[in-house]
Amino acid sequence: MTDVIVARPVIDLADRFWQWFLARSPIYATVLGDERYDDKLPDPSAEGRAEEVAGLKGFLGDANEINVSMLEQEDAITLDMLKVVCRIQLRQHELNLHHFQAMDQMAGPQGLPGDLSRFQRVDSEERVDRLLDRLAQFPQFLALHRANLLEGIAAGRTAAAPVVERVIEQTRRAAAASADESPLLLAHPELDDKTRARIKEAIEDWVMPALADHLAAVEGYLPFARQSEGVWGLPDGREVYETMILASTTLEETPEALHEYGLQQLDSIRTETAAIARELKFDDVPSMRAALAADPANYAKSSADIVAKATAQIAKATAAAPRWFGRLPEATCEVRAVEPYQEQEAPPAFYFPPAPDGSRPGIYFVNTYQPENRPLYRLATTTFHEATPGHHFQIAIEGELTDLPDFRRFGSRLTGAAYAEGWGLYSERLADEMGLFENAWERLGMLDAQAWRAARLVVDTGMHAFKWSRQQSVELLLSIGLTDLEASTETDRYIAWPGQALAYMTGMREIVALRRQLEQRDGNKFDLIRFHDELIGHGSLPLATMNRYLPDWVKPR
């Protein structure tokens, strides 16, 4: 008797889409440890965009042909996610976001050498050959992005001046460095002399001249930069912003509703902060903050001190996790300082997932630039958000769900950041429940981080929909405890990435509401471990999908 193979059209479609996506997104493939495209760069040209639009329309058409009522639950979720991804990306193409998206101080094309230094392996001659092939394409890659920016200038759709200024500063530093100072070499001290010489030659022949040309171009772009910080200054600014809200949250939310919710959350968090001040015997919150700012123990003496402290916090959270989770990630999480070439523009921390083949752990990057200006009392909540039990748990476990198609395991973030970032922010509150904060100061750090995400709702919508100035954003962020450096860096991040900052509090709002709903439904039989395992046991989900299916997965104990 022969085995009968049952066709699963959704899995076939998801697999086809994922392979197509990786071929079009070779850097993403490299990050995942897929080396098939390590000699390729993305195609930002008009022809490349046309091919992408045709592909997305084809996959969406195929998805619409599948009868959802006949599907198993996980297949229905996969199909739903595929449709969400195609629709959002098509909507972004329709709005010609390529006119200004390449002007980005955090993920712009000028940062490619640094990106490759983190993820592209160079431990064999064949792998080095693929890297060199990539570097040879770097001049054309930058030139194609500049063509898109010139198209944007002609259409009156340009990036905002603060973002352009940061890109100029970043590119100037990179162009002024010697080849020996390139992250492509600094990241690999283990290279032998011959390999180092080959990479250095490619840097001198391709990378440095390309960066010099790009610097001249972005300096010439500055006079045309958008003077309004928000996208409201674009001819189709309202539509652009609503599309970016959808891309970030997967919800059809209005700027007005999100702005108001942020203000409400800020009021609630201020009440909690006042309670901390009373607990610490201060007359009011300003006097508490003044004492904290003046305390030398609140600041690290070196970058290494910050990395060591974050490493210890991960170890503490990992030890406590089995009392709150039934499933733990197999991959470990390593702490690294943000590299010098990017630290001035980088956010306070961020996370990169482990390679599926186990060749690289999860990496928690913590920004140690000017450690004397980075208060330590907030480090714990950042660690619990970015690493354990936050992003590392959710994203590493997602990659380990081998019964799901690769699209679900590695591509689900294409549906927006709200699910993963909501989990990260929820994890900060969960860390308090878990008893991970060492003292009231670290709990204050958690509240400040929560206020920061609530403020993001206010300032992101403020700048992009309500014509707030950059200074208004900086002042609000300063009022909730951010330093001058953080407030300015964060504000410019929101300007560069409209809508992305809305994902955090929006995602947590949906997770907390769902938990409260199930606690009320199940009473003292509510199983929190089961809730957490099911919440992060199906990969990232669109928020509406999560709300629809999770109640059926979490059963009373």
List pLDDT tens digits, range 172-185: 999 999 999 999 99
- Across the chain, mean pLDDT equals 94
Q: How confident is the model at residue 1 (pLDDT cuts 50, 70, 90)?
A: very low
What was the pLDDT predicted at 345?
A: 67
Section 252-257 average pLDDT = 95
How many whole angstroms separate alpha carbon 211 and alpha carbon 223?
Answer: 20
Radius of gyration of the chain (CA): 23
How large is the average pLDDT for residues 466-476?
A: 97
Domain locations along the chain: 9-228, 245-509
How far apart CA 371 and CA 367 sit, in angstroms, is 9
Burial of 433 (0-12, 13-18, 19+ CB in 10 A): exposed
| Cα–Cα nearest to 432, from 411, 449, 453, 418 | 449
Give, to the nearest 10 degrees, the angle between helix 391-399 and helix 418-433.
130
State the pairing for strand pair 362-366/333-337: parallel
- The predicted-structure confidence for 383-434, as pLDDT tens digits, reads as follows 999 999 999 999 999 999 999 999 999 888 888 899 999 999 999 999 999 9
Residue 340: per-residue pLDDT: 81
C-alpha closest to that of 430 among 508, 363, 482: 508
What are the strands of the beta sheet with 362-366, ordered from one edge? 333-337, 362-366, 349-352
Read off the pLDDT band of 6 (50, 70, 90).
Answer: very low
Give the pLDDT score at 4.
38
Confidence of residue 5 (pLDDT cuts 50, 70, 90): very low
SS3 content of the chain, % helix, strand, coil (to 5): 70, 5, 25
Q: Alpha carbon 31 to chain centroid distance?
A: 14
CA distance 42 to 29: 11
* Distance in angstroms (rounded) separating the CA atoms of residues 514 and 518: 6
SS3 108: coil
Predicted pLDDT of residue 7? 55
400, 387 Cβ separation under 8 angstroms: no
Which distant-in-sequence residues (6+ apart) come within 8 Å of 144 by Cβ? 43, 44, 45
Distance CA 163, CA 248 (A): 20
